[in-house]
Amino acid sequence: MSSLLQNSVVRNTLLTVGATTALYKTYQLANFIGLYTRRSLLPRYLSQSPSSWAIVTGASDGIGAGFAQELLASGFNVILHGRNSSKLSDLKSRLQEEYPSRSIDIVVADATDVLKSVSTITDFVKEKGYLLTVLINNIGSVTGLGGPHFTTIETISAAHMDALIDLNARFMLHLTRSLLPLLGQYRHKPSPTTDTDTDSTSPPETTSPHPALIMTISSAASPAALPFLTLYASLKSLASTFSVALGHELALLNRPIESLGILVANVSSAMNKSPTSLFTPSSRQMARAALEKVGCGRREVWGYWAHGVQAAVVFELLGRRVRERMLGKVQLESWRGERREVTGAGEKE
Ligand SMILES: NC(=O)c1ccc[n+]([C@@H]2O[C@H](COP(=O)([O-])OP(=O)(O)OC[C@H]3O[C@@H](n4cnc5c(N)ncnc54)[C@H](OP(=O)(O)O)[C@@H]3O)[C@@H](O)[C@H]2O)c1
């Protein structure tokens, strides 16, 4: 070994590899720190006249409600979407008190009725004539219509499977497709006037498009490909790929629309009752962190810094076997635990 190191070619090669690795790691660290300390370019999507609107899907609770608060705090008017009108009205009243100078509107539509809900939301935005500059594709669920949290792909019912596909994929895809032509487009509605020069049959006045943002929420379940959440993880991969490919497509078409995917790990929310901790932010903290990434120049990022640290360890440092052993044990235990709760404490696996 020592005679090998005395060979100058070997020594220089090792030194070069070591120095390059150290440089690369320093570059990665600097990039990481830069990403989580930079200033958000969210104000790019804010317009004063007419004032801009953001829509948040699944806004009545959890991270969606956090997004609504943070967008109002950043100067946007907000459309709250959800399925429960009294929950949405309560949230609207609370937020209106907190942000009296902003406008808040509500659209009620059950996302599992995909095409109907998408047309309800699209017609709502069109009829109101809002300048929509932000779409937050937040809605998503592990449980669908109250099904089990953990399932095997063989035992999941067809209805539960469809509900998960609707909630995590079809709704987001159809809504984005349907709202894209409206994003950043302000169609000035001609007001009824006595001006004889105005032809009432002339089309509404259009202006050049305002920059707009589509933010799509994905999950750590996707890169981790979590077992017993197999369908959810797959659908979140669809959300990730859709967001990234859409961003690329819009850039190639020179459309002034940023599509940013946000990867999310554990967050305290209505769906996830974990207490907050260093690695489990509150829903509002998560939403703020996600919005801080706007304009970062990437197509998908871990929104919250501690999730970024976890991801670096789990997906970059650990090999697949170690990762699978570690995550698999937790998932298997969780699945068994839930089954025991459902089928009775005495059941043996
Ligand atoms: N929390 C986490 O640990 C975590 C981790 C990774 C990724 N995520 C992702 O983050 C996003 C938000 O999750 P969350 O934890 O905030 O979820 P949540 O607490 O369960 O909130 C979900 C929101 O969606 C609404 N919603 C559910 N089903 C609906 C339907 N059929 N039609 C209309 N609205 C419906 C809920 O309305 P109601 O108030 O009526 O129930 C609620 O406002 C999801 O995409 C999720 O996959 C979360």
Q: What is the DSSP letter of 232?
A: H
For ligand 1, say whether the CB of 267 is within 6 Å of any of its atoms.
Answer: yes
Testing ligand 1's pocket by substitution, the residue of 87, 91, 269, 283 carrying the most ligand atoms inside 8 A of its CB is 269
For the segment 179-230, what is each residue's pLDDT rounded down to a tens digit? 999 999 986 655 555 444 444 455 445 568 999 999 999 999 999 999 999 9
Reported residue count of the chain is 349
Residues paired with residue 280 on neighbouring β-strands, in sequence order: 277
Side chain identity at 324, as an amino acid letter?
E
Comparing 165-179, 202-216, 253-267, 335-349, which segment has the lowest mean pLDDT?
Answer: 335-349
Comparing 141-155, 230-244, 274-288, which segment has the lowest mean pLDDT?
Answer: 141-155
For the segment 104-155, what is each residue's pLDDT rounded down to a tens digit? 999 999 999 999 999 999 999 999 999 999 999 999 999 877 888 999 999 9
Domain 40-188+204-315 annotated CATH 3.40.50.720: yes
Q: How confident is the model at residue 1 (pLDDT cuts 50, 70, 90)?
A: low
Q: Is the pLDDT of residue 19 over 60?
A: yes
Q: Is residue 330 helix, strand or coil?
A: helix
Which tokens go with 297? 């120049």
The reported pLDDT for the residue numbered 292 is: 98
What's the gap in Å between 258 CA and the centre of ligand 1? 23
The reported pLDDT for the residue numbered 144 is: 73
Chain centre distance of CA 305: 15
Q: Assess contact for 150 and 331: CB atoms under 8 A.
A: yes
Write down the domain spans for the chain. 40-188+204-315, 318-349
The reported pLDDT for the residue numbered 197 is: 45
In 3D, which of 211, 208, 232, 205 has the Cα closest to residue 220?
Answer: 232
Instruction: Give the nearest ligand 1 atom to 232 CA.
Output: 47
For ligand 1, say whether the CB of 140 is within 6 Å of any of its atoms.
Answer: yes
Token pair 């792909």 is found at 153
Within 13 A of 296's CA, how many CA atoms are on the CB side?
A: 24
The reported pLDDT for the residue numbered 135 is: 98
What's the gap in Å between 225 CA and the centre of ligand 1? 20
Q: Assess contact for 127 and 61: CB atoms under 8 A.
A: no
In 3D, which of 112, 54, 53, 103 has the Cα closest to residue 82?
Answer: 112
Q: Is the pLDDT of residue 310 over 50?
A: yes
Q: Assess contact for 135 and 176: CB atoms under 8 A.
A: yes
- Cα separation, 188 vs 179, in Å, equals 17
Q: How confident is the model at residue 5 (pLDDT cuts 50, 70, 90)?
A: low
Q: What is the DSSP letter of 297?
A: S
For ligand 1, say whether the CB of 162 is within 6 Å of any of its atoms.
Answer: no
Q: Is residue 320 helix, strand or coil?
A: helix
Which ranges of 171-298 would DSSP assign to H, the alpha helix?
A: 171-179, 221-224, 230-252, 283-292
Which of 346 and 305 is assigned the larger pLDDT?
305
For ligand 1, say whether the CB of 262 is within 6 Å of any of its atoms.
Answer: no
For ligand 1, say whether the CB of 83 is within 6 Å of any of its atoms.
Answer: yes
For ligand 1, say whether the CB of 139 is within 6 Å of any of its atoms.
Answer: yes
What's the gap in Å between 235 CA and the centre of ligand 1? 14
Which of 244 and 191 is assigned the larger pLDDT?
244
- Cα separation, 240 vs 242, in Å, equals 5
For ligand 1, atom 34, which residue shows the shortest CA distance?
82
Instruction: Give the nearest ligand 1 atom to 217 CA.
Output: 45
Instruction: Give the nearest ligand 1 atom to 272 CA.
Output: 1
Q: For the chain, what is the mean pLDDT?
A: 91
DSSP E strand boundaries for the chain: 52-56, 77-82, 104-108, 131-137, 187-188, 205-206, 212-217, 257-263, 300-302
Q: Assess contact for 138 and 58: CB atoms under 8 A.
A: yes
What's the gap in Å between 287 CA and the centre of ligand 1? 13
The reported pLDDT for the residue numbered 321 is: 95
Testing ligand 1's pocket by substitution, the residue of 57, 80, 83 carrying the most ligand atoms inside 8 A of its CB is 83
Average pLDDT (282-307) is 98
For ligand 1, say whether the CB of 133 is within 6 Å of any of its atoms.
Answer: no
Give how far Cα 44 sits from Cα of 123, 146, 280, Å.
26, 39, 29
> 166: buried, middle or exposed (CB in 10 Å: 19+, 13-18, 0-12)?
buried
The reported pLDDT for the residue numbered 119 is: 98
Share of the chain above pLDDT 90, in %: 81
Q: What is the DSSP letter of 315?
A: I
Work out whether strand 104-108 and strand 77-82 pair parallel, antiparallel, or are unpaired: parallel
- Cα separation, 278 vs 271, in Å, equals 19
Work out whether strand 205-206 and strand 187-188 pair parallel, antiparallel, or are unpaired: antiparallel
- Cα separation, 256 vs 250, in Å, equals 8
For ligand 1, say whether the CB of 219 is within 6 Å of any of its atoms.
Answer: yes
For ligand 1, say whether the CB of 243 is within 6 Å of any of its atoms.
Answer: no
- Cα separation, 131 vs 46, in Å, equals 10
Instruction: Give the nearest ligand 1 atom to 269 CA.
Output: 19
What dihedral do alpha carbons 292, 51, 118, 65 form, nearest 10°?
40
Q: Is the pLDDT of residue 94 over 90?
A: yes
- pTM equals 0.91
